[in-house]
Structures are given as structure tokens and as C-alpha cells.
Structure 1
């Protein structure tokens, strides 16, 4: 656990420092964290195909800069990149970007613009009565745009609409799924007091045993992101794909109010049990992927769930806590009362609205009181409890237990967890590969937001090779 120095600091000095550093944390927390303790060593030599590097003018050159704010820009790029898998439309996204910039970029204009676009797509097109496929893919794009609005709603004028906005996106996703052919099998798999909703996609409704990939989302993604980062790619290769909401995600967070757990094997094991009981799953070929912060969750699960045949961390994440800037991490001390006193009396009063909104968003998956306060337009008062939960997600001492072949992805200009993918790769003792996606082909930044097709090519080519020999 990373703690602040035990030496007392004068109020004005700490307050001034925090105000200045966290004042810029809206961008830093969203897109530009520097993980302390990151290795300065060169990247390991890629053991698989990696794109060659080339000079670029910054992380998002030219048309990749949709918004001047890097946090908003990153999310906009995710929406734009999703068009490759029909989960967005280039023209719709760029028109929304222009509308937002013209009105003045803010959480309010971003949320209301993308929500309005989602609402429009849930209505029939003006051209006439839509066919099934039109309705299906309009619903998929609507799910994307509602998710875009959801990400920034806590900083808007209507933070209390968060659950409603989530449900709008979920309804669009369920509409899309219901119109797939075949439609995914849906179920609620037992997990503690709150079942896990799952969507089991198959290339057809035969009972043929097939390789199956369990797709794990990160700390703030939605199900539509799993379509972009795995479902469609799996189906194109004749594989099954399982999408699910775990604690701290989707329905379990926004509706059931269940936060993340550091023991992700307790989440994945029931999923493997459920898959293993199906006649259309080749139980020797069940793979597990983890996107974004799930590059921490999936490896944790794989360290204990030995039925996983292959693992992909996208990117590798040893400690999500190190994804927060050091100026935020130093607030946490071993003493809960002292920590919360610093937070409430020295930090919160100096937080600009944009940084406050970012902190609310980043903390809500780890604290129900923080989420409920944010929906009322208030700042959470207990920093210690969620911060301690985040530190407990550290898997540095667990990675050595992983036995199955593992692929660790890394990215040029990785904003959230720089250095951590190569650190995870170094600690792995299992058969392992490392791939860095680069700016040479527009695949830079966390999770390659502008290149999900390249991303899936790397992941599924690797899985195809590893599982073919299982």
C-alpha cells in the first residue's frame, strides 16, 4: 500500500499543492496518468508480431484530436473507432463532436449531445419503416452513444439521471442482442446475493463444441465495448463469446449497487462452471481476456482458475492504484480519520468542478456511498475506504501463480498504466508473449481506441494458435 509521509504538513502548503496538482487531474486521471515505480528499462523484445514504430506529432496527431481535453478526446476516439465493428458511425460521431465543440466542450454538452443521438436512433428512421437489421444496428450504435453520455453524466447538470441513462443503454444493448441470429443465450449466474447477467454469443445454434472466450470489461466500460473488443471477432472465427457484468460493472454497479472485489476468481469460476455444463463449449479451449482495468482482474482470476486455457491482459495491470496520480495517492495514510480529514478539509474545498467530477467517476465503482452522493451532486466524504479497496487489487505477488499461456498487450502512449505491462510480463513464469501496439498504424493509446480491428487481430490470432494445440 502506498501511504503519505507521516510527517505533518502545514495546511496552506498541502492545500496549495493539492489544489494545483489535482486541479489538473481531470485530464490526468482520465488520460495522462504516470504510474510511479514504472520501470525505466526498455520494453521487452516483442515475442509476437508488433507494428513498427514511426514518428508522430504527439499522442493524437491531426484528425485524432477531436477535443482539446485529452479525457473527452479519448472517449470520443473510442466512439469513432467502434465504427469498424458497427458499434458507431463515423458521420454520427463527428457530427456530435462538431456540435459539442460549437456549444463549448463540457460534461453537460457531451452528455446531452450523445444522449440525444442515442434517443434518435431508438426511434424509427425518417426514411420509412426499418428492417430488422436496421433496427438491430441502430440499437447497437445507440448503446454506444448512451455509454458515451453515461461516462460524463456525473459532471453534468443532471447527475441524478445516471441510472436512467445506464438503463437506456442497457435496453438498447438488449434490443440489439434480441435481434441477433442466433440471439445470445441469456442467464443469471449465481454470485453471492446478486446474480451475474451474462450474454452467450454463438456463431450458430448447432450443438458443436467450440472454443469460447470470456470477455472481461474494465472499470467503466459497457457491454457494447465487448462487442467491439471481442464478440464480433470471435463469431467471425467460429467461436463462442461470453459477455458478463461483474461486481463494479454495468447492472451490478448502477442498479444492484455492488462494487469491485479483489478476488475476481470468485467471479470467473461460476462463469466457467456454467460454460462447462454446456454441450456447445469445448472445455479444453476456454480463454479469458481482460480489457483496460480488467488487465488486472482477468490475470487475478486466471491465477486461481486453472480451467482457463489461455489468458490475454489488454494491457497488463499489476496495480490499478498506480493508475492514479501520485498527488491523489499521497492522500491515503494508514489512518482512516486522518486520511478523510485531509480529503474533506484540505483537498475537496480546492477541487475545480472538472476535477471533482473526474474523482466522482473514478471512485464510484469502488464505493456505493460515493456513487449515491455523486448522483445528488455531492462529493463523497470517505476517501479512505474506496482507496483501500483499490490498493487491494494489486496482483504483483499473484502473477507467478499463472500457469496458462499469457499474452500481455502494451500501447504507445499508454495513459493509465505506463510501465505496468512490461512489469507484468517480467513477473510471469508461464509461457508468455508481449505485443506493443504502436502509433505507426494509429493503434496508440490505452486499448487502441482508433484501431480495435488491429487489436482483435493480434489477440485472436494469438488465441487461435494457443488453443489449436490445447
Structure 2
């Protein structure tokens, strides 16, 4: 979320919550060496600079696809994927025009992007697409289904969430099936529910290579990992492992397993599986974390010492601080009191857009929250998922990280402003800090308009940090 309201003591709760809609929605979207130096990519413009007149404080200095900053951020994310084949500029902009013409809403957004995904999963009229065409159409379809999935809880058909997830997963699996070589798939033991993994290799020669484990955030889909690591890894002769952890993808939407604060229990089985493979250089396994995984990956690396290099994108010590003060203040030490405030004072005053935002933000931490949202209802137990988010705080364990670490930050970071730099300062391992800026169009959480720049920074650092033997 983008901000904390100033001097809110005189505001009604309704007024304060109404002010969350734009900022909260945005966040839903939400060359270094180990020499302990800091660098910034580009020169930051004035805080009021705007390339196209976008409202400052929403999506400053970026292309305006939608007037609402939440939808605008997601649209930019879809557009940015084009650099890695994860979207088509013309398809995205045509969808944007269709949505704006119909009237921007969760419903029109979901309908338009789902229809686009459906079209791509069917053969185009009058042609017989070859393997590569079907592969790339499936990749783009996975992106468009993910776009629809993101807003489905605010649409007229929230009950279709799992079905929509399965459509996107089907497109992703079809894409993977048509890759050459296809990624190795497996279910790695984790509690009662195996972790689905996709292990990508540049070829099937069996050559031993460095490997990057790519960790998604709280609401990303596998297609995002293609643009934020897999493609770049393969181009540089690295292996790449993509997985669904608790609170993510299949484990959330199908198996109904929520996030855990002990992410090392997720990563350690992945490392066990990798080091047992002859095509993995066990001494060069890197771990990255995108979005909220900028908290999860460092937590895992603090305990799993076989990780040789860590990248937090961005660094995040306390995900709970990503919620505005008005939301955090609902949580009290007493569960009954907290839920009384939520149900009696907050929910009746909650604007529809803010309600949809809260449903989306809380569902990875509470299955009752997710199931209520699928019925078009607001969850009644605020306390339990809020405590789960609060438990993700890693301030006390960052000092245990020993491997070289790169912390990324972004100009106009909406989710966790200030936290990347604080994490960097607390690290005692070899470390680097890079801030991506508006000077090259790489601003905002995770640089949605510049995943190629993002990958260049990350993999330049990884290859310098973990050179070939």
C-alpha cells in the first residue's frame, strides 16, 4: 500500500477507509559486487515529475492505462511481460481500450482478460499453429488469466476463482509441455501437501550448472517467474526452479494451504531435491524473492546455509507494515475485541473497492477468508490472518544471513517504502543495494514496466557473485 493517512484522528472510519482504496489497490499488484557498496540505477526525477500526467502518489511518472491506480499497476505489469513473451503489447492495449470503453470495473477487467486467455488457448481461425506458436500463445494466455484472477473477488463471479486459477495453471502447464526441453516437474514433500515444482534447464545434456530458486510473492502466478527469472536464467546457461509454496498457486487455490512464517521449511526440501541432481552445481544455488517473497527468501536463507547467494526484490522486514495504519490499528491483543471492531465498526462502513482489496490481501493467510470471499462476503475473523501476517516479521533473524545478499529497492515503492534500505543496513553478510528508478522507467514495486532491466541487475550480480569454477 502506498501511504499512511496523515492526521487521521479527526476522520470518520468510513472516510479513512475510503482513502485506502487507491493506495491499497496499487500495492496489490502487491552491476554490483560483494564489496558492500550502494548504487542507484539512473537519476531520480523531481518527486512531482510525471511522464504522462499520472496522479502523483498513485503511479507517478508512468503510462496511464487506467485512471484507477490499482488497475493501472496491473495493466503495466501485463504490458511489461511483453519483453519476455509473456504478453503482446497490442493485445494488452486492445484489452485496455475495451475495458475503458465498457467502463472500468473488476467485472469488465476480469471478463476482458479471461476472454483473451480463452481465445489464445484455442487455435486461431484459418491456420494450424505450430508447436512454437502454441507454446507462446499459452504463455500469454497464462498472463491474461492471471490478470483476471487478480480481480475476480471484486467481480460478479467471485465463486469462479478456483476455476479461473485452473485455467491459468492449464495454460502454464501447456506452455511448459511445449518448451524444449520441457521442465522437469515433481511434487516435493512438504507436510501433507507436496510442493509442485518446475525445473527449467537450458538443455537436457546433464551439464552441471548454477541454479536459481525463484520465489513468488503473496499473489503472483508462475507466469510472473518466467519474466522475473526463468527466461533470463536460461539465456545465461543457468537452471531455474519455479515452485508453489504455501499460500501460493495450487497450494492456496486448490489445496487450501496458507502461508507459513517459517519459510525455511519450504526452501530446505527444494534444496534437498536440487543437490541430489547431477545437473545442479550444489555450490552455486541462489535464492530470489519477488514482492512479499523479499521477506520469505531472506527468512529461509537465515537458516538454510546451502544457499550461496540471496536476492530480495525488494527487501522486506515486516509485511504487516505494508498495510495502512488504519488497518493495522484494528488489531488488538484480544481476538474478540479485534473482531468486534472489524465486524461492527469497519465492515459496515467499508467501500466495495476497499472490501475487495481486503479480501484479496487476506485470502493467502486464511482459508475461511478465501471461502467467504468466494461467496461474495467479507470475512469475519480479522484477528487470525492479521496475526499471521504480523508473524512474518524477520527483523530478529536478518543478522543470521551469512551468504552474499543483493537488496533491491524501487523509486516510489508502494508496498514497503523504506524497508529495503533498513534490511540492507541490518545485514552483516557481504551485501549490495540497488535502487531502480523512474529515470529508466523502472520505478514502482518490482519495476512492472522494466523486468528486463530488473533481470539484468539481478543476473549480473549473481554471475559476479557466483562465478564459474
In structure 1, how many angstroms separate the alpha carbons of the residues matched to 2:11 and 2:45? 40
Displacement of 1:61: 5.7
Match of 1:27 among 6, 22, 28: 22
Name the residue aligned to 1:72: 71
In structure 2, how many angstroms separate the alpha carbons of the residues matched to 1:63 and 1:314? 20
The alignment status of 1:132 with 2:131, answered yes or no, reads yes
In structure 1, how many angstroms separate the alpha carbons of the residues matched to 2:12 and 2:426? 35
For each residue in 1:53-104, what CA deviation from the matched residue of structure 2 results, as whole angstroms up to 9, or x when unmatched? 2343146467611111111111000000000000000000000001111111
Q: How does 1:152-301 map to 2 (within 5 A)?
A: 152-301=151-300
Match of 1:47 among 17, 38, 43: 38
Unaligned runs of 5+ in 2: 1-7, 29-35, 51-55
- Does the 8 A contact of 2:404 with 2:431 survive in 1? yes
In structure 2, how many angstroms separate the alpha carbons of the residues matched to 1:209 and 1:109? 48
Displacement of 1:302: 0.1
Displacement of 1:370: 0.2
In structure 1, how many angstroms separate the alpha carbons of the residues matched to 2:62 and 2:468? 42
The alignment status of 1:90 with 2:116, answered yes or no, reads no
Name the residue aligned to 2:33: none
In structure 1, how many angstroms separate the alpha carbons of the residues matched to 2:70 and 2:200? 32
Classify 1:18/1:32 alpha carbon distance in 2 versus 1 (closer, same or farther; 3 Å): farther
For each residue in 1:341-396, what CA deviation from the matched residue of structure 2 results, as whole angstroms up to 9, or x when unmatched? 00000000001111101000000000000000000001100000000000000001
Displacement of 1:24: 2.5
In structure 1, how many angstroms separate the alpha carbons of the residues matched to 2:194 and 2:304? 19
For each residue in 1:167-189, what CA deviation from the matched residue of structure 2 results, as whole angstroms up to 9, or x when unmatched? 00000000000000000000000
1:455 is paired with a residue of what secondary structure? helix
- Does the 8 A contact of 2:40 with 2:436 survive in 1? no
**Alignment length (residue pairs):** 447
For each residue in 1:180-224, what CA deviation from the matched residue of structure 2 results, as whole angstroms up to 9, or x when unmatched? 000000000000000000000000001111000000000000000
In structure 2, how many angstroms separate the alpha carbons of the residues matched to 1:421 and 1:61? 20
- Does the 8 A contact of 1:14 with 1:346 survive in 2? no
Q: How does 1:400-439 map to 2 (within 5 A)?
A: 400-439=399-438
TM-score, normalised via structure 2 length: 0.93
2:38 is paired with a residue of what secondary structure? coil
In structure 2, how many angstroms separate the alpha carbons of the residues matched to 1:49 and 1:300? 25
In structure 1, how many angstroms separate the alpha carbons of the residues matched to 2:79 and 2:459? 22
Name the residue aligned to 2:31: none
In structure 2, how many angstroms separate the alpha carbons of the residues matched to 1:376 and 1:80? 31
TM-score, normalised via structure 1 length: 0.93
In structure 2, how many angstroms separate the alpha carbons of the residues matched to 1:152 and 1:164? 14
For each residue in 1:19-47, what CA deviation from the matched residue of structure 2 results, as whole angstroms up to 9, or x when unmatched? 111112222212269xxxxxxxxxxx962
Aligned-residue RMSD, C-alpha:
1.6
For each residue in 1:259-299, what CA deviation from the matched residue of structure 2 results, as whole angstroms up to 9, or x when unmatched? 00000000000000000000000000000000000000000
The alignment status of 1:18 with 2:13, answered yes or no, reads yes
In structure 2, how many angstroms separate the alpha carbons of the residues matched to 1:122 and 1:303? 42
In structure 2, how many angstroms separate the alpha carbons of the residues matched to 1:191 and 1:14? 46
In structure 2, how many angstroms separate the alpha carbons of the residues matched to 1:422 and 1:469? 30
- Does the 8 A contact of 1:161 with 1:375 survive in 2? yes
Displacement of 1:17: 2.6
Displacement of 1:248: 0.2
Name the residue aligned to 1:3: none
In structure 2, how many angstroms separate the alpha carbons of the residues matched to 1:284 and 1:370? 41
1:436 is paired with a residue of what secondary structure? strand
In structure 2, how many angstroms separate the alpha carbons of the residues matched to 1:143 and 1:101? 22
1:409 is paired with a residue of what secondary structure? strand
